Amino acid sequence: MRLDYLKVRLRRSLVHSMILLLVAAVVSAKELARCEYSEERIVNECLQPMLQYATRLQSEAGAVQFPLQGGRVFNELCTIYTDFKKCVERVQCDSLSIDAVDASYGYMCGSGQHLFQQHASCFAQVESEVSYISCKTAATQAISEAQKSKAKSTELYLSEMCRAMDGYLRCSHPIIVSKCGPRDSTTLRQRLSAILHKCFVCRVSSLLMHFTRRLLGPFVGTLSKKLDYYSQFQPSSLSIQQYLDFGRIGTAATSYSFLKNELLVRLANIMQEFTLLPPKLLQMPSSKMVSNWYAESFEDLLQFESSSDTAESVAKFNDQLSIILKRHAHVVETMAEGLIELRESDGVDIASEKGIQYFLDRFYINRISIRMLQNQHLVVFGNVLPESPRHVGCIDPACNVESVVYDAFENARFLCDRYYLTSPSMKLEMHNAVEKGKPISVVAVPSHLYHIMFELLKNAMRATVEFHGVDDDLPEIKVFVVKGNEDLSIKICDRGGGVSRTILERLYNYMYSTAPPPPRDGTQAPLAGYGYGLPLSRLYARYFLGDLFLVSMEGHGTDACIYLKAVPVEASEVLPIYSTSSRRNLTMGPQVADWSHHVPGQGNRPAQ
């Protein structure tokens, strides 16, 4: 009876402790995030000498080094550890990285230092024993396996690392007892017990952080587990030629089987990155609306996860795709509103702005790719009619570039006339270097090319009118189109006064616009004033491995250059992949200056 009572009291005590830990985790979530975003950068810099030494040590010995080392290594490690502790004195947050280093070296170089020095020679002898080498080799392999789980789950990684150290302790303990006596084995136990205790603390901290992120993040519950699962897979990059071929010979059932999985993978990859945005941005009403749309669409698609490719399933799937397309029709404007709300509420720091810029490029190109999949399927296998009988889904196998340019020009001129009561003319020159004298046609998505041309011509017209004035004769806008063996190149030249290099660098920033902010009542054309026209146009160009860039001469004008792949088999989708690299870029703190002045492109690593 007494034993049962004690068990109940113990159980209640543990539950109470866990509740307190969870509350503490929720309360300190902002502090932990702040540490990860900025001060962890300082910790990382302080860690570099230790990491470099470990790399050299491993290359010399051919295996991961464990606590049983000779005097030289012991002294060198403790010197580096002391320097590390001095370096991180300025860090005020609760850093898990510092905890991990303390767990590894705190006892050995702290209160247990004299014991390790006394028994270093005996430990060095143990290291030459075959039986001990087997323990170390097994632990090395266990750590290598644990490293593989790091990308899947932080808590799984920590658990596997702790299991590896625990196995090392159990294996090596009897060897040390037999060679060095029980006192030395106690020293080792004290050392590794400190590590294992810290392992437990780190594991619980990681679990609590993971729980808090799930609890407070935009995607929770069963949905979060499915996101974890599907984000493990890389999206399948398709070429325009593959889209074209499948549109001609594919079946609705095959397309359904591919899409029901691929759409979940593409959504999961970007939704995981969405959770890493600054918490303040995630709390903005418009950002919440976007995250809710994505969560709802992901759940809608999950209902087809295990469905067979029957005609009934395909019909329901097509209906669901149409609903999702309508639901996401205003994602761009709504996300832009979220940034405006953030700016008006509390502003954006430099580190967060870089992370947001990185995310939005990936977010919008992911959106382009998802809508491409949906529209292509619905036009080829659904009830949506193609733009012309020649089209294969959204793709025109013989897109007349001249026609698209003139359509974009006429619509841009209509807006310019409506706003300024005047507009510049356009001079178009076409050069077909592949089939001389023939019109230029390429395999392309006409709507993408139109979007790019419309935005660039609209910008050129606005700059020309505002620079020269509505009463003056306006210089014409010159457009050159050239088709080569590999590229379709388009250059738009205006004499709209150009911009300085300072402004040019900011034109692709989603939080910068040269136009006045748009009214909130919906009376103005979409995207006007959001500053999204140019960065989105560049994404449309880059989506199939093209590009867009500007060359400007302040006081004269600007040249906009577009490159698109002329060979459809080479025009493959550029898709964002959720990975350790993307997580690092989204959560990276402000960089320490390594130049006296910022110069665009100075010392930057080339894009991969």
Residue 458 appears among annotated catalytic residues: yes
Tokens of 147: 């490293």
Residue 451 appears among annotated catalytic residues: yes
Q: Tell me the three-class secondary structure of 518-560, residue by residue.
A: CCCCCCCCCCCCCCCHHHHHHHHHHHCCCEEEEEEECCCEEEE
Catalytic residue among 136, 458, 483, 565: 458
- 77-83-84-88 Cα dihedral, nearest 10 degrees: 170
C-alpha–C-alpha distance, residues 477 and 496, integer Å = 9
Cα-only R_g, the chain: 30
Pairing of strands 487-494, 547-553: unpaired
C-alpha–C-alpha distance, residues 463 and 461, integer Å = 5
C-alpha–C-alpha distance, residues 253 and 560, integer Å = 43
C-alpha–C-alpha distance, residues 349 and 588, integer Å = 12
Burial tier of 68 (Cβ tally within 10 Å: 0-12, 13-18, 19+): buried
Q: Which of 282, 335, 296, 297 is nearest to 526 (CA)?
A: 335
Residue 455 appears among annotated catalytic residues: yes
Tokens of 475: 């210089």
Catalytic residue among 226, 459, 565, 573: 459
Tell me the backbone φ, ψ of residue 206, rounded to 5 degrees: -65, -40
C-alpha–C-alpha distance, residues 437 and 430, integer Å = 9
Residue 45 appears among annotated catalytic residues: no
Tokens of 45: 């810099």
Q: Tell me the three-class secondary structure of 299-339, residue by residue.
A: HHHHCCCCCCCCHHHHHHHHHHHHHHHHHCCCHHHHHHHHH
Tokens of 597: 């002045």
- Count the helix, strand and coil residues of the chain and give each as a percent rounded to the nearest 5: 65, 10, 30
Catalytic residue among 455, 483, 565, 573: 455
Q: Are 490 and 479 in contact (CB under 8 A)?
A: yes
Q: What is the DSSP letter of 346?
A: T
Tokens of 526: 């979409």
Q: What is the DSSP letter of 63?
A: S
C-alpha–C-alpha distance, residues 492 and 418, integer Å = 22
Catalytic residue among 451, 483, 565, 573: 451
C-alpha–C-alpha distance, residues 224 and 212, integer Å = 12
Q: Mind giving me the DSSP string for 409-478?
A: HHHHHHHHHHHHS----EEEEEEESSSTTSPPEEEE-HHHHHHHHHHHHHHHHHHHHHHH-TTSPPPPEE
Q: Which residues are catalytic?
A: 451, 455, 458-459
